[in-house]
Amino acid sequence: PDATGPMIVHRLDMATSGLLLVAKTKEVHQHLQAQFENRSIKKRYIALLDGCITEKVRATEVISTTGKVGRIELPLCLNPLDRPRQIVSREHGKEAITEYRIISESEKHIRITFYPLTGRTHQLRVHAAHPQGLHCPILGDELYGRKAERLYLHAEYLAFTHPITSEKIEIHAEVPFCPTSE
């Protein structure tokens, strides 16, 4: 009842489902935002990609004990001629880094885990779809791919330090699309 909020700490793209962190007070909001800025908050997203990853991209993947993993570093900025789309620009873009792990593959889709290390607008969507990224858009992405019944991108996990108790907090949100939807 004494909240100076609620105040949203970060954002999700409009069609993305999943976890959104909200602070009750201005002080907690500032503390949590600082954790996002210094990249101490851990985020994990699950997505279904529409298609298969090209062999060129496969050459950069590493096989680990947990699956095929990789890293995408493509700087992003707003496309001034086609808002709200973002573009890759080495000259004007801001640093955008995404690590990923492939969970499973079929002939039509790839189930993937994204670990964004930065938080740029449409970062995961562009990194998935762009030819210098995975070259395989997220299923249902109307801006960078093709329309489906939904955007198959879900913010599944957040880990952060509680601003008051200093306790490590881990939150999970069940993925609303199952592997059988592939």
Within 8 A by CB and 6+ apart from 80, the residues are none
What pLDDT, in 10s, does the model give residues 8-42? 999 998 899 999 999 999 999 999 999 999 999 99
The verdict on whether 13 is a catalytic residue reads: yes
Number of C-beta neighbours around residue 142 at 10 A: 12
- Supply 82's token pair: 């086609």
CB 140 within 8 A of CB 11: no
Q: Model pTM? A: 0.89
What pLDDT, in 10s, does the model give residues 144-174? 999 999 999 999 999 999 999 999 999 999 9
Count of residues making up the chain = 182
Catalytic residue among 13, 50, 82, 141: 13
